[in-house]
Amino acid sequence: MLWLVFCLPAPLRADAALPHDFATFRLGEGKRVVLVIGGIQGDEPGGFSAATLLATRYEIQAGALWVVPNLNFPSIIKRSRGIYGDMNRKFARLDKDDPQFPTVSRIQQLIRDPAVALVLNLHDGSGYYRPRFESKLCSPARWGQSVIIDQAQLPDAFLGDLAQVAERVTEEVNGQLLRPLHKLHVHNTRTAEGDREMEKSLSYFAVRHGKAAFGLEASKEFPVALRTYYHLHMVEAFMRQAGLRFTRDFSLTPRGIDGALRTNLGVSFAENRVFLPLEDVRGQINYLPLPKGSPATAVTSNPIMAVLPCQNDRGTLCIHYGNRTITCIKPDWRELDTSLGSIEVSVDGRRENLIFGRVLDVFEGVRIHAPAGYRVNAIGYDSGKRDENGLLLRRSLFEKRFSVDRGGTLFRVEIYKNDRFAGLFLLRFREGKPGNRTGSPQAARLSPDLTGTASGS
């Protein structure tokens, strides 16, 4: 059975250098829009992980949701609060020479959109906010586990009773606590009464433009999946307040969230002629044939993923997923031959036409039938020949250290015309019999707004 792991969309970003642009995902339809923003500070993975799941794993059945999961993307990649300073302090006044002026201007324009009625800015905060001092970790000086408002009321605005809405949300989420310590509270900063720092924030910018806005703070004391758990509970409560109806394809539990964050990861190069699943990828992949310019047109399955030159070795490509580098690629730069788009294979006793960039399930064995003039290179199988065309390929013939995955089940098969690279596909060797096939994995659900602010426009 043929496995297509991802239906990859157009590239989210097209620069080979450090990406500076964010993507906007527009889900559902409606006159009033809920805008959710993650990643304004790059060292707060709970916020941008939650926003990423909202963008890619939710379906809006009634109402409209816009999601920016990667607002400060360069800082996310660098695991920095802000490589150009704190972006969340740049919304009152910003010099045009500031490197983040274009990004801040674009998100301000999005917030000012007449359709936007509710703005949620996702953060990870220290400790546990408490209205009165309880301990060093639980005090008014802490920000974690709180819903932030700038003022109690915003007259004439949708959901303008900010204090009451925040109280309803915290009451709902507090019904889902995993421990009493995790209790949420409303934190009113009373920004207009003299809080000079909060006057510079994104949420207060939204308030000043008549939009109900809230900062959502999950505690930095938690691992990422648990931060994401509380973020999503808060966001869902707000969406219900705004009248949105929605579904998601994972369970809203720490375990379900952890699984959702670890699956459906992949990257495609060379117009989908090269595809790599990344869920169990090795830390380094050597001599991957790629045409020059491939990093600039790489397509990732996730808006907080990027393919960039490695800092310590500019000849190596690093694939970043949020704050982590999940693998590095040593490219074998090749000219690309596009005269062939697929190839015939005999797998487990049947014949198939295999398109480049696919993953092929193999239980017993497979033979590749390349046309005349093309050669086959099965990575990890030393046949003693330059061309493995027509040879029976079984799992026992491959050396595990050459697999794409750490489990030793996924191997590259590359096709060449002379020295030009035509494409590759992957063999996934599986246990059991061919009759045990269970079907294709879920395709990536990534649909950025290519007509608006996605794609770094």
Domains in the chain, please, with CATH? 31-262 (3.40.630.10), 266-333 (no CATH), 342-436 (no CATH)
Of 220, 454, 410, 236, nearest to 323 by C-alpha is: 220
- Give the model's pLDDT for residue 18: 38
Q: How confident is the model at residue 20 (pLDDT cuts 50, 70, 90)?
A: low
Average pLDDT value over all residues in the chain: 91
pLDDT at 236 over 50: yes
- Residue 129's Cβ-count burial label (10 Å; 0-12, 13-18, 19+) is buried
The C-alpha atoms of residue 73 and residue 38 are separated, in whole angstroms, by 10
The C-alpha atoms of residue 20 and residue 100 are separated, in whole angstroms, by 8
Q: How confident is the model at residue 315 (pLDDT cuts 50, 70, 90)?
A: confident
- At 73-102, the pLDDT tens digits run 999 999 999 999 999 999 999 999 999 999
- Give the model's pLDDT for residue 226: 98
- Give the model's pLDDT for residue 453: 33
- At 334-358, the pLDDT tens digits run 999 999 999 999 999 999 999 999 9
- Give the model's pLDDT for residue 296: 86
- Give the model's pLDDT for residue 432: 84
Residue 164 has which token pair?
């009451």
**pTM of the complete model:** 0.90
Bridge partners of residue 119, in order along the sequence = 35, 213
The C-alpha atoms of residue 252 and residue 232 are separated, in whole angstroms, by 8
Question: DSSP character for 432?
Answer: S
Q: How confident is the model at residue 435 (pLDDT cuts 50, 70, 90)?
A: low
Q: How confident is the model at residue 50 (pLDDT cuts 50, 70, 90)?
A: very high
Which stretches within 209-303 are classed as H helix? Answer: 224-241, 254-262
pLDDT at 407 over 90: yes
Give yes or no for a contact between 356 and 416, defined as CB atoms under 8 angstroms apart. no
Q: Give just the sign of the alpha carbon dihedral 72, 74, 78, 82.
A: negative
% of the chain residues with pLDDT over 70: 91
- Give the model's pLDDT for residue 194: 94
Give yes or no for a contact between 426 and 359, defined as CB atoms under 8 angstroms apart. yes
pLDDT at 168 over 60: yes
Average pLDDT over residues 420-436: 89
- Residue 258's Cβ-count burial label (10 Å; 0-12, 13-18, 19+) is middle
pLDDT at 1 over 60: no
Residue 42 has which token pair?
């790059």
Residue 133 has which token pair?
């001092």
Q: How long, in residues, is the chain?
A: 457
The C-alpha atoms of residue 238 and residue 184 are separated, in whole angstroms, by 14
- At 247-268, the pLDDT tens digits run 999 999 999 999 999 999 999 9
The C-alpha atoms of residue 392 and residue 440 are separated, in whole angstroms, by 24
Q: How far apart are the first and last CA of the chain?
A: 39
The C-alpha atoms of residue 410 and residue 408 are separated, in whole angstroms, by 6
- Give the model's pLDDT for residue 441: 34
- Give the model's pLDDT for residue 312: 82
